[in-house]
Amino acid sequence: SAMAAVRAVEIDPEGTFKYILVRLQRPGGGEQRDIVRGTKAAEFHNHIFEKVNPEMEKLGYECKCLGGGKIEHNSKDKKIRVFGLSTGYGKADHSVTVEILKKEYSDYEITWSDDKK
């Protein structure tokens, strides 16, 4: 399907940055999919959503932010840590985020916690 063509994960290759978990769905229900987006360029979580939402609307999907947090990406050691929360959107279900990340970064050690930092 076209929805499967949307990249599940788009995150910065290095560093610690904010991320959000976003649910895409066809208007009127039906098919849905969760994607992860994160970047150092975003000062606040809503900046990420404000970029993703119009891109997905153009493709004909509705977006809902399921929450956010932070990602610490260490590409040298092949480690990703998911933690923290978003003040505006609340905490994403990091366990869901990790499952999505594992598909994309299958050779990484990926962990999560509810720690703030």
Q: Could you tell me the CATH number of the domain that includes residue 81? A: 3.50.20.20
Count of structural domains within the chain? 1
Write out the binding residues.
Answer: 18
Write out the binding residues for substrate.
Answer: 18
In a domain, 102, yes or no: yes
Please give the positions annotated as active site.
Answer: 45
The residue with tokens 């208007």 is 27
In a domain, 2, yes or no: no
The boundaries of the domain holding residue 77 are: 9-113
Task: Check residue 117 and give its pLDDT.
Answer: 83
CA dihedral 58→59→61→67, nearest 10 degrees, is: -80
Is there a contact between 66 and 92 (Cβ–Cβ < 8 Å)?
A: yes
Convert the pLDDT of each residue in 71-103 to its tens digit. Answer: 999 999 999 999 999 999 999 999 999 999 999
- Band (pLDDT 50/70/90 cuts) for residue 60 is very high
Q: Which residue has the higher pLDDT, 68 or 5?
A: 68
Quick one: which of 42, 34, 40, 98 has its CA closest to 66?
Answer: 34
